[in-house]
């Protein structure tokens, strides 16, 4: 039996509590939130829970094996650091931290203490992203040329982080998972139209090894909610629409073939292919259930953590570099991970 305590019962924390309490071999005994009202809400849902406004009660409880953190991003590193120092496994919501130096220290601490650390990068546990990974690994799309993603809606404006830190962690985690690689550099532009100094729209382009590109458009200022990713491969192309209920992924047998053998420019020819569209069937299931179960497996069986602290740190580095580029006129910024400093 793994006993968990959850810090943060705002919008997202209750989803984590619901999933952990429903998993066999796990129980949640304590929940902490600064808001008395949120704690009362949790007491109504789970009368057996002990609640506290002081997160330290949970971290110091010797009966708790793992601490789940679903508080605002700026508090993640402090809370996770204290939990790891107290010998607890940690599950931290995304992004791991708002600073790459702080996220690196978490990687180091978890290693030194031999504890499991996982980041809530939920999308890489979703049936749609797993299906795309399967299609890429099978070679069906050929070699990936580029990925382009749009994650926009109206609001919710945050006051402690910009739109990149709010929305782009999902895309960066998905890219690294799909491409089995980390981005090497980034160029970005963005602007703060509503709140001074807090960008509400951004366009970031990441360069991956092998010339692969991945572009992210994130915005809190868009009339429509769009969650669309396009993967362009040398053989096929794919569009993933996360807002669609029935046809999330469409695989297009479209492409362009170049006839390689030509002597004159006049013989240089492109052949366009317009083939079938395939809509793969996706497994049912809540990504969060798979994600929370994976965290328990990592603790129990030492399973390699798909979204471990290193993955979370790499996402933080890519976000930070994107914001640096955005604030320095879109210059190309090399992304440093410095993971050797954590070993
Ligand atoms: N994985 C996902 O798809 C997903 C979705 C939504 C949010 N999130 C992440 O979840 C985290 C929380 O987001 P949210 O939307 O629930 O925010 P929220 O503001 O609704 O809730 C955060 C809660 O944390 C509490 N809190 C803050 N500091 C605390 C402290 N020191 N001790 C105890 N409680 C404290 C606040 O009182 C608040 O109730 C963020 O990191 C966010 O990025 C992840």
pLDDT in tens, 98-134: 999 999 999 999 999 999 999 999 999 999 999 999 9
Residues 291-328 have pLDDT tens digits of 999 999 999 999 999 999 999 999 999 999 999 999 99
Is the pTM higher than 0.75?
yes
Cα 256 to ligand 1 centroid, rounded to whole Å:
46
pLDDT value at 222 more than 90: yes
Nearest-atom number in ligand 1 for the CA of 76 is 41
User: Cα(267)–Cα(178) distance, rounded to whole angstroms?
Assistant: 37
Residue 263: pLDDT over 80 = no
Q: What is the 309 CA–ligand 1 centroid distance (Å)?
A: 18
Look at residue 260 in the predicted model and tell me its pLDDT.
67
What number does the ligand 1 atom closest to the CA of 32 have? 33
**Does residue 271 have a pLDDT over 90?**
no
**For residue 78, how far is its CA from the centre of ligand 1 (angstroms)?**
14
What lies within 8 Å, CB to CB, of 106 at 6+ separation is 77, 80, 81, 84, 90, 92, 96, 97, 117, 309, 312, 313
For 100-114, 116-130, 187-201, 270-284, which range has the lowest pLDDT when averaged over its residues? 270-284
The residue among 230, 211, 233, 279 whose CA lies nearest residue 141 is 233
Mean pLDDT of the region 19-25: 97
| Model confidence band, residue 224 (pLDDT cutoffs 50, 70, 90) | very high
Among the atoms of ligand 1, which is closest to the Cα of residue 170? 3
Whether residue 266 has pLDDT greater than 90: no
Sheet containing strand 144-154, edge to edge, reads 270-278, 249-258, 237-241, 221-233, 144-154, 213-219, 201-207, 185-191, 333-334
Alpha helices in 46-92 (DSSP H): 55-59, 76-85
Name the residue among 232, 94, 104, 221 with its Cα closest to residue 170.
94
**Residues with beta carbon inside 6 Å of ligand 1?**
7-13, 32-35, 38, 55, 70-73, 75, 93-94, 120, 122
């Amino acid at each position: 039996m793994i006993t968990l305590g959850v810090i943060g019962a705002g919008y997202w924390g209750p989803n984590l509590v619901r999933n952990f309490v429903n998993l066999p071999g796990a129980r949640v005994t304590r929940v902490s939130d600064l808001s008395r009202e949120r704690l009362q809400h949790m007491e109504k849902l789970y009368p057996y829970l002990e609640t506290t406004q002081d997160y330290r009660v949970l971290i110091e409880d010797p009966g708790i094996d793992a601490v789940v953190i679903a508080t605002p991003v700026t508090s993640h590193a402090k809370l996770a650091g204290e939990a790891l120092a107290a010998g607890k496994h940690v599950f931290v919501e995304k992004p791991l931290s708002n600073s790459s130096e702080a996220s690196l220290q978490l990687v180091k601490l978890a290693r030194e203490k031999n504890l499991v650390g996982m980041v809530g990068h939920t999308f890489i546990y979703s049936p749609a992203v797993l299906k795309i990974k399967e299609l890429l690994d099978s070679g069906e799309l050929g070699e990936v040329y580029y990925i382009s993603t749009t994650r926009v809606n109206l609001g919710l404006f945050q006051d402690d982080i910009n739109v990149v830190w709010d929305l782009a962690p999902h895309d960066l985690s998905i890219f690294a998972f799909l491409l089995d690689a980390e981005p090497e550099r980034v160029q970005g532009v963005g602007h703060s139209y509503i709140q001074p100094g807090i960008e509400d729209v951004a366009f970031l382009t990441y360069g991956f090894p092998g010339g692969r590109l991945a572009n992210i458009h994130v915005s809190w200022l868009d009339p429509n909610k769009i969650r669309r990713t396009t993967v362009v491969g040398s053989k096929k192309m794919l569009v993933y629409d996360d807002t669609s209920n029935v046809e999330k992924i469409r695989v297009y047998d479209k492409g362009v073939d170049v006839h390689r053998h030509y002597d004159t420019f006049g013989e240089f020819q492109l052949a366009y292919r317009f083939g079938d569209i395939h809509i793969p069937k996706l497994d049912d299931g809540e990504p969060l259930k798979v994600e929370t179960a994976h965290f328990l497996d990592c603790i129990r069986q030492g399973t390699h953590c798909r979204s471990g602290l290193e993955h979370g740190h790499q996402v933080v580095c890519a976000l930070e570099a994107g914001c640096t580029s955005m604030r320095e006129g879109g210059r190309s910024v090399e992304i440093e991970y410095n993971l050797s400093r954590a070993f």
